[in-house]
Structure 1
Amino acid sequence: MHTKVAANALAMKRWLGKAETALGNHSDRLNAINIFPVADGDTGTNLYLTVRAAARSLVLREDQPAPVDVGEVLSMAGQAAMEEARGNSGTLFSVFLCAAAEPLAGHTRLTSTLLSAALNRAQIRAWSALSDPVPGTMLSVMEAAARAAAAVDAGQDGDDSNHALGLALDAAVEAALAAVIHTEEQLDALQSAHVVDAGGVGMLLILDCLRSAVLGEELQSELLDGLHGYDVSDPHIHASMPDDDGVEVMCTISLSPLNAATLRQRLDEIGESVIMSQVGNGPDAEGNYRWRVHVHVPDAGPAVGIIRSLGEPSQISISELSLPRDPDAVNTGGHER
């Protein structure tokens, strides 16, 4: 039985702090097996930097009262993560976090039912943020965790006890692990390289950090034992892959719903890995919503031109998809997007 449960707003802050530390410790190994959607060896770095932004947004000034609303805490963290999201994995985690906050708004304590609702909302939003979502990635891990938590909650018949919450968290992490293992069979690139998906492993770590923070238990280090490509310390696996041509373009922009749909369609026509997610909950005075945009394209010029034709972007970043094949350089500097 779980006896140290603390499922409040402070636990959510602890969760993201633990996730920042865990991803910092594992970023090099995650980078090493990052070969999908492009073999650029930066998933660990991108997830770490994005989660770090979320965690640090919750550091309070001395004169600030600690928030008690679980949803408010995660919403603050999610917005900060979205503003500084890096790469596919960081952007999808930001979407996940923002969406998970919504069913928790107004609640001061996490329950099995609320966890189930939050995970389900988060995985649906993450799948829908991508124009062309692919199974065998962190999306599949999010979905598996949500389904497992929902199954446990359904069997508890509305039980809002800490025990029921502990069972749901255990099931979510166990299902996430199974989904990570399954990623290797779902994507040809992973199967050829004999590795599991880097983003999926990162999501597994994040979910185990949630379990640890809420239940007051240690992280389950044995979760990663035996994962293909993860339990070795040889050079970065992505280093043997062909260089990926093109660039990644990211920005934040205010658009009407119609212009947002137009932007997605036009970026789909010229690029891949298109992710668009709303930043914030409501429109401005002109009816525009803020969006975080991510796309891989052969050349930045046309993509930036399309974006600028529809609005005035901010926080534009353009990064080469191909990287120097020096593991030490990746480990120390990362490929910050």
Structure 2
Amino acid sequence: MRRWLAMAEQTLANHSDRLNAINIYPVADADTGTNLYLTVKAAAHAVAEMEPADVGATMSVAGRAAMEQARGNSGTLLAVFLVALAEPLAGAQRLSGPLLAAALHRAQLRAWSALSEPMPGTILSVLEAAAQGATSVQFSLGGDESNQALAQTIDGAVVAAREAVVRTESQLGVLSAAHVVDSGAVGVLLILDCLRSVIVGEPLQEDLLDGLSGYKVQDPNIAVFMPEQEGVEVMCTIQLTPLAAAGLRLQLDGLGDSVIMSAVSEQADATGAYPWRLHVHVPSATVALEAIQAVGDPSNVSISALTANATEDAHDFI
């Protein structure tokens, strides 16, 4: 798992510019590649030097680090995916096909439920397809736990994920009009192929991205030509009970969009509150922060402009 995350970090670093160039949904802010890279980097570095542990414990550390340092819509969903991936793997000394299928299934469910308004044609569709692909293989193998079955399981997941990436162009009107596939979907496909590479001991598939609309190096940078989006992205961590979290989600749904809320861990404090990672796009940071501060004390707050022309300095960490 450590080798997978390290490889994903390097791969996303190599592909971030092209992912940014086709990042036009949910907003054309040209940072999906950067956000996925920084989020995976946080996960990879968190586990790089940790003491040997079981698969679930390793992924749990990776997921928490990714969640706390997640960037953007795509990075937050990826962090949710990593956190949830760890849950069925708890105590496992090695990864197997049945465990991988179960983990992918749990992770895609958590990712879909984290969003207030989940949309097909995005990262969510790719995660769902990967889970279905892995489950289908495992069903045909009857729960075989051999290394060969594990290789077949991840193969099935990546094949299904790539088919889902191709479909994203036709699932969202903005992507169809621009003739591109979804940026976050491609990023997750690359991350899954990194896992395949580590499991089967082969390089990344050279033809994996061939034919994906908008992804050739010579294709234009679509994102910079899209109309600029007004407003800001607000992210933070906050300790809330499930009931308070549901109330805050409802309020944020009325104030903005792209609302993502997911528990960072399943460990509650003495009051029954859990740490939640929160993401929302709003017209101004003030309205979101007022709603958040009314129910708790946020930490690790970041505020970013929703524009492709914003610099890194637009991120204001409090």
Q: Distance in 2 between matches of 1:251 and 1:77?
A: 18
Match of 2:238 in 1: 253
Deviates more, 1:16-25 or 1:284-293: 284-293
Match of 1:169 in 2: 154
SS at match of 1:58: helix
What is the TM-score with the length of structure 2 in the denominator? Answer: 0.97
In the alignment, is the contact (CA less than 8 A) between 1:46 and 1:335 conserved in 2?
Answer: no
Report deviation, 1:98: 0.5
Deviations 1:50-102 (A, max 9, x none): 00000000121xxx6322x0011000000000000000100000000000100
Match of 2:294 in 1: 309
In the alignment, is the contact (CA less than 8 A) between 2:262 and 2:277 conserved in 1?
Answer: yes
Match of 1:36 in 2: 25
Q: Distance in 2 between matches of 1:212 and 1:334?
A: 35
Q: Distance in 1 between matches of 2:26 and 2:119?
A: 9
Unmatched tracts of structure 1, length 5 or more = 1-11
Q: 2:199 aligns with which of 197, 205, 214?
A: 214
Unmatched tracts of structure 2, length 5 or more = none
**Is 1:188 the counterpart of 2:173 in the alignment?**
yes
Match of 1:117 in 2: 102
Q: Distance in 1 between matches of 2:177 and 2:139?
A: 39
Where has structure 1 moved over 2 Å in runs of 4 or more?
A: 232-235, 333-337
Match of 2:283 in 1: 298
- Once the two structures are superposed, the pairs formed by residues 1-337 of structure 1 within 5 Å of their partners are 12-60=1-49, 65-67=51-53, 69-324=54-309
Report deviation, 1:283: 0.6
Q: Distance in 2 between matches of 1:302 and 1:336?
A: 18
Give the AA of the match of 2:39.
Answer: T
**RMSD (CA atoms):** 1.4
In the alignment, is the contact (CA less than 8 A) between 2:67 and 2:277 conserved in 1?
Answer: yes
Give the AA of the match of 1:90.
Answer: G
Percent identity, aligned pairs only? Answer: 60
Structure with higher RCO (Cα < 8 A, 6+ apart)? 1
Deviations 1:153-208 (A, max 9, x none): 01111211111111111110011100000000000000000000000000000000
SS at match of 1:15: helix
Q: Distance in 1 between matches of 2:281 and 2:293?
A: 17
Q: Distance in 2 between matches of 1:40 and 1:116?
A: 33
